[in-house]
Amino acid sequence: MYIMLDTSKSSVGQSGDFVTIIDERSGKKFRLAIMRGTMGSPVVDISRLQSEMGLYTYDPGYGMTGSCSSDITFIDGEKGVLMHRGYDIGELAEQSDYLEVCYLLLNGELPARAEKESFTATIKYHTMLHDQMQYFFRGFRRDAHPMAVMVAVVGALSAFYHDSLDIQDEGQRKLASYRMIAKMPTIAAQVYKYTIGQPFVSPRNDLGYVENFLNMTFSVPAEGYRLRPAVIRALERIFILHADHEQNASTSTVRLAGSSGANPFACIAAGISSLWGPAHGGANEAVLNMLEEMQSASRVGEFIARAKDKQDPFRLMGFGHRVYKNYDPRATVLRSSMREVLSELGVEREPLFELALELEKIALQDKYFVERKLFPNVDYYSGILLRAMGFPRSMFTVLFALARTVGWVAQWREMVEDPLQRIGRPRQLYLGSPPRAFVPLDDR
């Protein structure tokens, strides 16, 4: 079997060239249309490969598979570019705010002033949780990991908000999206309060999105929380940087769960489960554990040697990415703002940041990392920043889930509204036993 480029142009719609695949044994040929998006690599349409050639494709980890078409986010991994609806992530992080980015992801355009005010008011209207939900929290052990509680509480939203479960109803889809974006800060803060044994703090609609979250997380009935502009700005930036990231593992999980027609709260709970793993959103927690274990720059060489040793499962956490073969642009923003934020927070010297810089410097000069194009990803610096703001590391992935909710919701809505959408159902290369006769128990 081989594939050759056929230079004849397709006459159909937006397809450009074709590739022709030829079965060398039978000589059978089939032309596959090449589809081109606005930017990025073209893709080969294989949807008729099975019916024409009796073949499926084999792509473990889906690294070569475009699972959908999307208008939301574009990544050029070779150049280290990330854009939402055509806007560069660096510009959004510098000049926009989180709710504006939420609006952009959901609606495709930046909001005009009146649209922004109306969207902000809608989100504020939905910040509270059904009162009955406090009893749901109480069923958990206090020492549960916050992600374990969050995934359950988000899944349970479908038991409390019956008027936003009908995915065929556009109004209900929108309502579910607004509820999710509005309630995630309340859930995240309550998860935290529950696990440290403090009473829940109600949302305050006189505060902005980020301020309200900080207040619910860190204030107590006996004492308010001093909202510092530097902390608000830094967290706002972290939320923007995590808002969406194309078809990553958790977003694909949301789409796959949603493709069966499952309700939006259940789909987001599935996304949170996927995010929890250390190869995905759990890496920011793992980075801090790694740096603390390392303790001093004198041990950098030892950790790099372990990361390179194929007999050792250890990996340099916060390094490498399926798509970025260059510096993750989100890590660039975090790295460049780190010193400014730390000094505004009154942290003169953060030893873990200095250690992270040293580790990065040495890794980026090492042949192993250079050859494999392994660069720091967003998780490499976010944990250090969150720690400086006072968040315990068990909350890092919870914050990631909070910020990513809008991306999941936008991608879920895009999928439900896509007329070509079908249930997600990959195939397999079966390597098990051929047919054999059943052996009765006494004969085994």
Report, as residue numbers or ranges, the catalytic residues: 321, 379
To the nearest whole angstrom, how small is the minimum distance from the Cβ of residue 246 to ligand ACO? 11
Residue 319 binding ligand ACO, by CB under 6 A: yes
- Cα(224)–Cα(206) distance, integer angstroms: 15
- Count, residues in the chain: 444
- Cα(324)–Cα(349) distance, integer angstroms: 30
To the nearest whole angstrom, how small is the minimum distance from the Cβ of residue 316 to ligand ACO? 4
Of 254, 280, 257, 256, whose CA–CA distance to 397 is shortest? Answer: 280
Q: Which is nearer to ligand ACO, 265 or 375 (CB)?
A: 375
The interface region with ligand ACO, picked from 130-138, 166-174, 290-298, 377-385 by CB under 6 A, is 377-385
Q: At what angle do helices 170-196 and 146-160 cross, to 10 degrees?
A: 140
Residue nearest to ligand ACO (CB): 320
How many residues belong to the site for ligand ACO (CB under 6 A)? 19
Of 276, 252, 251, whose CA–CA distance to 150 is shortest? Answer: 276
DSSP 203: -
**Residues 32-71, mask of contacts with ligand ACO (x by CB under 6 A):** -----------------------------x----------
Q: Are 52 and 30 in contact (CB under 8 A)?
A: yes
Residue of 31, 126, 280, 325 that binds ligand ACO (CB under 6 A):
280
SS3 content of the chain, % helix, strand, coil (to 5): 50, 5, 40
Residue 322 binding ligand ACO, by CB under 6 A: yes
- Cα(307)–Cα(364) distance, integer angstroms: 13
Residue 382 binding ligand ACO, by CB under 6 A: no
To the nearest whole angstrom, how small is the minimum distance from the Cβ of residue 249 to ligand ACO? 7
Residue of 279, 292, 340, 426 that binds ligand ACO (CB under 6 A):
279
To the nearest whole angstrom, how small is the minimum distance from the Cβ of residue 223 to ligand ACO? 35
Residue of 370, 372, 417, 426 that binds ligand ACO (CB under 6 A):
372
Q: Which is nearer to ligand ACO, 126 or 322 (CB)?
A: 322
**Residues 102-131, mask of contacts with ligand ACO (x by CB under 6 A):** ------------------------------
Residue of 146, 318, 329, 407 that binds ligand ACO (CB under 6 A):
318
Residue 335 binding ligand ACO, by CB under 6 A: no
To the nearest whole angstrom, how small is the minimum distance from the Cβ of residue 373 to ligand ACO? 8
The interface region with ligand ACO, picked from 30-38, 117-125, 168-176, 376-384 by CB under 6 A, is 376-384
Half-sphere exposure of 171 (CA within 13 A, CB side): 1
**Residues 290-309, mask of contacts with ligand ACO (x by CB under 6 A):** -----------------x--
The tokens of 289 are what? 């554990």
To the nearest whole angstrom, how small is the minimum distance from the Cβ of residue 396 to ligand ACO? 11
DSSP 440: -
Residue 316 binding ligand ACO, by CB under 6 A: yes
Count of C-beta atoms within a 10 Å radius of residue 230: 15
Residue of 176, 379, 384, 413 that binds ligand ACO (CB under 6 A):
379
Of 325, 429, 333, whose CA–CA distance to 381 is shortest? Answer: 333
The tokens of 386 are what? 């969150």
| Structure-derived torsion over alpha carbons of residues 261, 257, 188, 335, reported in degrees to the nearest 10 | -130
Half-sphere exposure of 288 (CA within 13 A, CB side): 20
To the nearest whole angstrom, how small is the minimum distance from the Cβ of residue 259 to ligand ACO? 22
Residue of 116, 126, 174, 315 that binds ligand ACO (CB under 6 A):
315
Of 347, 346, 348, 352, whose CA–CA distance to 382 is shortest? Answer: 352
- Cα(438)–Cα(151) distance, integer angstroms: 42
To the nearest whole angstrom, how small is the minimum distance from the Cβ of residue 444 to ligand ACO? 40
- Cα(227)–Cα(2) distance, integer angstroms: 62
Which residues in this chain contact ligand ACO in the complex, by CB under 6 A? 61, 279-281, 283, 307, 315-322, 372, 374, 377-379
